[in-house]
Structure 1
């Protein structure tokens, strides 16, 4: 491991470092719970409001709030002077990413419409929160990453439902693709985005504003954020346990379907990261910002994808299962790409010493 990688490694907490294992255990626990406590499905059904089980809805909100409370909303204008970074990030996140996932979903899952739709929804949910960890580990530009995360968080409220309508109904119709009776309501998607992104986004913004005003930024970043941070994972694991308790029969009967969902996800993360890094290098952004561009393009907001899939199609749907498989694949792949980034710095950015040095210093601080 390089000195830079060793310096960056402590940034990843034990919870985050073992995230794939926790997700795997949550899946196994959920499957066992569904098998040995079959009454759970009836209990969750009786607690439904507008088609969403209240315990699952609570888990979704709990996992979204800490992510959005970490965003530095006051830095939205910090990188607007770098038009190359801003424009390329918007193009990769909102044009290339959704289009690539749409193609991969249809190529690999043309005969499995529910999983295909779930993957398309994952492609529409752009990076927030955890991408900052991968960016730090790879010695990227932390401030640029924070700004791009904030921009994506706000932009998703407006763009997600419209893009969902386009990629799930309009574009397949133009291309003559058989959606097999898929009925997607843009209004329903919009409502779920507003609830599961808008509400925690407003709460995250308010808590940062109030917390910094009353106690100061140092207290907020050093005391409050570390205290609430793990709850994002707790909420995610709680939701996964309940989902797999409801999905257990489908998973055990069709394990190869889960493997088929993983294949396009692997291709998606690798291609988006590679295109992002190559674009940054071509545009002369330097290593730190090229890496930031690559990880913010490759990462996805799987929390939002899961929430929208559950709210729109139900907790027992194939769309929800596809969303849950997302983080299981994304986390180890992006951790691996951190090391590829550090290797690429030595090979492709050998003359770009200043930016990596600043990034390493920030990680150490």
Structure 2
């Protein structure tokens, strides 16, 4: 039985995103049930490591000044675990590969992010396709060095094998969410605090980046009696605010919310809208579902798997504005039925369920 795990990641606290959320939640719940899950990550000012957290010296990441690149060597005082699990393919992911091979322990990697999906935001149009080819080649080389890959959805596995061309053994294990936190709750105080109207509320929380396609959500509510509530922030926010003003859409921008506020945010919504076509899982869709809020999502990427048509929401063809509006209308009309079905899926969404599956994958790699 696997008891100790060493996780290597280029993204960790205090940065807030799906990867850091997953790793910190896995570490907390794994350590509560088994021996330990240590984590190696880039040192960032403002965060003091706890026991079992190893911050290595780091520098500012090129093109992403908010992120850091850690020195690609494992800490000298890191104990050899039963399994090494790398969560990102960059400097500390490479360090994790070296550490596992040097100590002859099984090596697992998670496929969290479709790297080529970020290329259009970073380079000129003429360099997009070469950039995508480079990303795919790098991913193939990286994942060829591991014993097993964990993917959060069947879509992510298909993409890794077919689009990236990685010849890997891969198992679908949802990242899982904290269903103790994300549950239906009284949204009244939240609506009052942010001055939200009584009419139909649609919402999204997360990164405001070009790849999230949030302009489509603004266009979908323009000319309707729906209010769109956007939590989070990112480089696309200014453009989204202009789009809302130009179209007359009733869009409210709340900025970053504390995680303690998110269950009330989801519970306040009649539907969570998710027009992003590039997700490998879309944890916010699962959080909304756990709070009893159905999801209207792009019929693309991992949302094909994460949003069950007619059960936890409805999907639409990306770019088809009328189909988006139809999915919203249908979700609002069937809200009580969909909300009940969302609540019934809570146990399947829990991180405990995911860690049971993860433990089986780890155990299968032990000689």
How would you bin the TM-score normalised by the shorter chain?
A: under 0.3
| Larger helix percent | 1
Richer in strand (by share): 2
TM-score, scaled relative to structure 2: 0.25
